[in-house]
Amino acid sequence: MILLVVVILGAVSACWYCGAVVFLYRGLRTLTSGGESRNHRFSVVIAARNEAGNIGACLKSVVRQSIGSDRYEIIVVDDRSTDGTGEIVTDFQRRYPQVSLLSIEATPPGVSPKKWAVAQGAARSRHEIIVFTDADCRVGAAWLETIDRYFAPAVGLVQGITSYRCIPGMNRLFFRLQSLDFLSHGIVAAAAIGARLPINANANNFAVRRDAYVEAGGLTGRIGRVVSGDDDLLLQEIWKQGRWEIVYMVEECGSVETMPTRTVGELFHQRARWGSKTVNYHPKQVVLLSGIFMFYVLVAAMLPFCIADSRLLLPALTLLFVKYAGESLLLVPGLHLFGHQELLAALPFASLVHLPFVLAALLAGIFGKFTWKDQSFSRTIKAPVPRHADHFASEKGRNDSNLHV
């Protein structure tokens, strides 16, 4: 009887998983290139905490944009750095008038430090399109020019792909597995946006129209106390408004490169942080992802029971094959679309190690703690959320004792 129940549950969850994969695959197939240039002006916001080793290379790539320097500004938010990050940005300020520095000395209680930093940078932006990236990223010369082509009048948010660049000396297998996993998040994001049910995003390559940002409430308020999710939760809030289109940028010239983690431990804490925000997603997204999560749980649970009951071996292997087939259906066209088909060779092994890793990281993020920038967090900030918000009207001209321009 127990065997029959397990097999039935596995079959139901596999059907849900297959339905979700087909839904996302159809969304991936709808993605198209951007239209003509709209000549928007951009405010690039970069939050940096102890990024002295990266911020220089990041700024070098951003200041070399193909559009005129009068069409974009770069706001670097130095989030309580102690390693000279601010001094490097100050040197860029002297050479590039479009670069400015905003220094934060403290974060108010009840607000995620990253969200507070990003919100302050956005609040001091001057242009119509706010573009977010991170201090360890590098962008191409046509990055902003490419983003510009996607911002038709009805578009409120443009998301782009981000990939890893290899750190010298890093184990090649570890790099490939980590890169494949990272790109899978971007491919799912692209597919979900194409299917008109946005799920996840990436703040490395994320652009939003000012009006859409304000209407969604910015990065404080309800989502301000969630440690992670300055990308996913803002994306979903804009989608919830129902006014703006959300599109995915597919051109390679609009892609961004970032740094992978150096160790398995760092990778686990990063993925736990990403998983921690999922409980704050909107109901439709939670339902879709919960079905996939239950499928993963049943696959993982069935495998060890094969030792006690050999009759479970065939159902377990069938579920493993369904998982691999579903991943292939999305990742093969996705990796070709974004120019990383060289990672396909790692897919079979990655599919196996992905299962226990993602389950453990997700549970750790939701119920445990994780480290981020040498700080320990649980998924939400427990202190009360302050009443102030990061709307532009309330922030412009406000003298905050914790901020220095």
DSSP 34-77: --S-----EEEEEEESS-TTTHHHHHHHHTT-SS-GGGEEEEEE
| pLDDT at residue 338 in the model | 96
User: How many Cβ atoms are within 10 Å of 308's Cβ, its own excluded?
Assistant: 8
Determine, yes or no, domain membership for 115.
Answer: yes
Domain count of the chain? 1
Contact assessment for residue 265 and residue 259, using Cβ atoms and an 8 Å cutoff: no
Give CA torsion, residues 2, 289, 241, 77, to 10 deg. 140
Count CB-CB contacts under 10 A for residue 133.
27
Is residue 41 domain-resident? Answer: yes
328 lies in some domain: no
**pLDDT 10s per residue in the chain (405 long)?**
667 777 788 899 999 999 999 999 999 999 999 988 889 999 999 999 999 999 999 999 999 999 999 999 999 999 999 999 999 999 999 999 999 999 998 888 888 888 999 999 999 999 999 999 999 999 999 999 999 999 999 999 999 999 999 989 999 999 999 999 999 999 999 999 999 999 999 999 999 999 999 999 998 777 777 888 789 999 999 999 999 999 999 999 999 999 999 999 999 999 998 888 998 899 999 999 999 999 999 888 887 778 777 887 888 899 999 999 999 999 999 999 999 999 999 999 999 898 899 999 999 998 888 887 777 777 776 654 444 444 443 444 333 434 444
What is the pairing mode between strands 72-79 and 42-48? parallel
CA nearest neighbour of 365 among 373, 357, 374:
357
In a domain, 312, yes or no: no
Task: Report the pLDDT value the prediction gives residue 391, as an integer from 0 to 100.
Answer: 44
Domain residue limits at 74: 31-161+202-260+374-404
Instruction: Specify the pLDDT at position 381.
Output: 67
Phi then psi for 57, rounded to 5 degrees? -65, -35
Helix (H) or strand (E) holding 370: strand 370-372
* Burial tier of 286 (Cβ tally within 10 Å: 0-12, 13-18, 19+): middle
Does the residue 42 lie in any domain? Answer: yes
Distance CA 337, CA 47 (A): 29
In a domain, 322, yes or no: no
Domain annotation covers residue 256:
yes
pTM, entire model: 0.90
CA-to-CA distance for 333 and 185, rounded, in angstroms?
14
Size of the chain in residues: 405
In sequence order, which residues have a C-beta less than 8 Å from that of residue 360 and are 6 or more positions away? 268
Q: How far apart are CA 113 and CA 381, in angstroms?
A: 10
Nearest to 325 by CA among 22, 12, 11: 22
Residue 329 in any domain: the answer is no
- CATH code for the domain in which residue 211 is found: 3.90.550.10
